[in-house]
Amino acid sequence: MNKVYQTKKLSKNIKDTIVKDDNGYYRVHMGRFNDYNSRGIFYRVTDIDAVLGEGSIVHRRLEEGLLRAELNHPDVKGLSGPAFRQRVLKIDLKNTIAHIKKIEVIPTGEINKEFNLPTYDVYGWIKPEAPLGDKLKDILENPDANLAMSIRSLVYQKRIGTTVVRDVVLVSTWDVVGEPGISKATQWTAAGLEESESLDGIIDSTEDIKELITAFEESATTCPDGKCVIDCLGNLVKKESNPLFNIKL
């Protein structure tokens, strides 16, 4: 008997879901908040506006037309502390694969029972951009090829009971990756959160935030984003209604 092995898209008769506008931007799944990754780590966002809304680095980059995705997460081998976090926040134009013009955050209707939080899917309108945009274009225009994107963020990590929780403090951008950390992190299914090898800058304490801000103030290569990150972190720590951000600098 002949055996046939094929993509999930064909075996489950998944219809083409990518929408393209008149300016060449594709609507794609980019991420999910308040869900678990493949390692059982819960990515928590209690205030979507604080992370993606006005005053955030993502919002400012979107408004100024500067939000871009790289091909794969940046190589951070050998980097630690402020240097690692700076690379998480920096968008390298030499590795750009897409421009992102709009983000949609849509409640899934699901409530996480452990933390009683709504789950959000994140969609983005992206367009292939030089120098690596042709690689993305090939994926987007091939109905049998899947697309996975992965978030880049700064997080607080803690353990609550038996669950490792990462509170998302700041989102830098999303990158195009080869394989998602959870099955829902692709274009063919629901949106997911991160690649198997995630890229998160872990903020362990208030001192870490001070160190991060100092690094950006002293750096001569951060361009306008240095001030952007400083302002964003300043806004976050002032949100006293949210215990996560109720810290003093």
* 59-73 pLDDT per residue, tens: 999 999 999 999 998
CB 228 within 8 A of CB 57: yes
H/E segment holding residue 163:
strand 163-177
Structure token digits, residue 110? 């699901």
CA distances 217 to 1, 25, 134, Å, are 67, 35, 36
DSSP 18-61: -EE-TTS-EEEEEEEESEE-TTS-EEE-S-HHHHHSTTSHHHHH
Q: How many CB atoms lie within 10 A of CB 72?
A: 17
pLDDT in tens, 168-203: 988 999 999 887 654 455 666 533 334 444 566 676
**DSSP strand pairing (199-202 vs 148-160):** parallel
pLDDT at 21 over 50: yes
Residue 240 has pLDDT above 60, yes or no: no
> Which residue ranges make up each domain of the chain?
21-239
The size of the chain, in residues, is 249
pLDDT of residue 67: 96
